[in-house]
Chains A and B, each alone.
Chain A
Amino acid sequence: MPTPLHIVVCAGIVPDPLQTLEPAATPTGPGLKNEMVLPAVLDPWAASALYEASALVAKNPGSKLYLVALGPKAKLQQVMMTVAQKVAFELVPVDGPIGGFPDAHATAAALAAAIESIAGLDRARLLLFGGWESASRGAGVTLQLVGERLGIADQFFGVDEITLRDDGSFEVLERVEGGKHQVSKCAGAPAVLGWATGNLAEPRNNPQVGMANMRTILPALQKAQTAKLDAHSLSYLSVSLPKQQRETRVEKNMPPEEIAAELAEWIGKDS
């Protein structure tokens, strides 16, 4: 018999990767220029976690899927209009600041508190999912801190695959150096899994799933708790765009033989 799971996916929202980003000073610290009007998406690696979680829920009848997201309510609502059409979930929103500059420790505390407040969550069956790093702060520590705050003693990061067994145990593949995976077997939930890309493609939009999700998402957004994130002694000495601009030589009419010869010389030369 498959084991019913309670899967909580922590996912932030980040600027669409195609946007040009420029830092700007704000009253609360560094931020992005026009941050609130930049198109936003669900954090890419966290989105992988959400799709993998949905697939696990589908294979394990009786399981539940929660999406815990921290961000300004208006931006969360905008992103959920798209995400809600992908997979079915229950949203647990936390109204808070956007962006990668707030402290990860404070973010983790707010997320852990939100998870602890989920009514009916069975912590013994909990799989805590998220991206192994965000596309904003990119520190790879928030999910781990949430897991630690929830007292979860088995954590896996850079996960590309999980295989559940009927007894509740699972095998997990984590990315390690050199393009390899470490294979581990865990006795079962509770556990933290910080996902890398996984193996699933992005699900197609399903308007029926979207409508069903939005019936619960909008009331949840209205009731979202507000989180104030402390800086934890973190201060920024400088925030800037990289200055390096290269002088690019463009060769438009060089024959392939000459290009190959030039490349061969370049590759062989010690830099």
Chain B
Amino acid sequence: MDSILVLTHADETGAGLTRASLEAVTAGKELAARLNAPLAIGIVAAHPQPLSKGLPEAKLMAVEGEAFAQARFASDAAACEALCRAAGATIVLAPQSSRFARVMAAVAHRLGGVIDTHITALDATGPESIGVTRWFYRQRIEAVVTRTARPWFLLLDAGTHAAYSGEAGHAQIETVAVNLPALRTEVGGFRAPKQDAQTIRPDAKLLLVAGAGWTKKQPDGAIHTEEAGKLILEFLGHAGASLGSSKSLVDQGGEGHSVLPFLTHLNQIGQTGSTPRHAKGLSTCCHGEEPHVVGWRFIGERRAISLDPNCGWTRGKADVVYIADAFQVIAKLNAMPAAKR
């Protein structure tokens, strides 16, 4: 019979678990119920005791100490390895966060296990049969895979489960000792990209995708990059939206062309960028498969503004396509009274 361990970690403040961790808790609780399997929850944090409040009834384990206040391969791998060995679970669920994605394959290897990542759905078809869904070829092909080898580590993509907010259990946390190796890496904090404002907002309802058309010649024969930048930033501010961009637009910076100064590779979506999850997406001045197919796979409602009535990539991918000048439309949108926006 399988047993389940959910690994979680603290957020940047150290005062709570990340939302993705709580989503993994939900997935673990659901899977444990379906398999009738015991559930354990492991916490990686400097001070894990307060973080256990609100977690469901389960065996609670944690590592603690300042070494776990920061995300670092050597300490996090040792912590997760210790928790897994202490739990002895056959299925290990964890969030696909940058912190756990950095270490979990190594942990699986240390335990003689196997790992699959970017899981978007878990399906227990029977007591011995678990199928997990993930995408291949950058969200172009979807597959359901299963494994008989154990322990089986599964990293769950964010947004695929609700964050746990149910009934809290009353279990005591068992502290697990960790044999830390010599730490050769020191984490110095975080650095935001050089830009006027933070334009990446993972929790935003709307994703605005800016394509290369913003920096191309406009009907008057001139390039209006500065105006484009102002329109986009103003729109982001009004709508509280996150900004994605096509590869071609970001690459222009490296090729010496006129660029939007606040764009970095971190904004890039698609084949070599991210595949963000937002309820709505509005693409502007984009043409091609990248923004409409690969980068938009997990966008709920999709609309596009494009000058190209024959852009084949929007057909069947977007809900609505407006054949119009994005400069004019976004300017009108920005000029509307707040109540109407």
Contact = CB atoms under 8 A, between A and B. Distances in A.
Interface stretch (B105-113, B163-171, B221-229): B105-113
Given A138-B136, A141-B117, A251-B320, A180 B190 contact: yes
Interface in A21-36: 21, 23, 30, 32
B301 A271 contact: yes
Interface of A: 14-15, 17-18, 21, 23, 30, 32, 44-45, 48, 100-101, 103-105, 135-141, 144-145, 147-149, 153-158, 160, 171, 173-188, 196-201, 232-242, 245-254, 256-257, 259-261, 263-264, 266-268, 271
Given A154-B185, A155-B73, A182 B280 contact: no
A105 B110 CA distance: 12
Contact of A235 (B147, B187, B200, B315): B147
Given A155-B73, A264-B341, 9 more contacts: A17-B271, A23-B143, A104-B105, A141-B117, A179-B267, A201-B255, A239-B141, A240-B142, A241-B142
Nearest to B243: A179
Contacts of A198: 265
Q: Most A CB atoms within 10 A — which of B118, B136, B141, B305?
A: B136
B191 interface: yes
B323 A251 contact: yes
19 contacts: A21-B137, A104-B115, A135-B137, A144-B102, A144-B105, A145-B109, A148-B106, A173-B191, A175-B98, A177-B202, A180-B190, A184-B185, A186-B186, A235-B147, A237-B144, A259-B324, A259-B332, A260-B336, A261-B340
Given A17-B271, A248-B318, A271-B300, A135 B329 contact: no
Contacts of A180: 190-193
Interface in B189-215: 189-193, 198-202, 205-206
Contacts of A140: 101, 105, 117-118
B280 A266 contact: yes
A176 B73 contact: no
Contacts of A145: 105-106, 109
Given A177-B97, A234-B114, A263-B303, A23 B280 contact: no
Contacts of A15: 137
B137 A236 contact: no
B332 A256 contact: yes
A184 B187 CA distance: 4
Contacts of A171: 188
Interface residues of B, number: 100
SS class, residues of chain A in contact with chain B: mixed
A174 B91 CA distance: 28
B88 interface: no
A148 B301 CA distance: 41
B191 A239 contact: no
A117 B88 CA distance: 35
B140 A21 contact: yes
Nearest to A17: B271
A99 B139 CA distance: 14
Contact of A187 (B105, B109, B184, B266): B184
B233 interface: no
B115 A249 contact: no
Contacts of A14: 137
B243 to A, nearest CB: 9
B186 to A, nearest CB: 5
A238 B279 contact: no
For B103, B117, B267, the residue with the greatest tally of chain A CB atoms inside 10 Å of its CB is: B117
A197 B251 CA distance: 10
Nearest to A105: B114
Contact of B137 (A100, A175, A183, A185): A100
B145 A176 contact: no
B219 interface: no
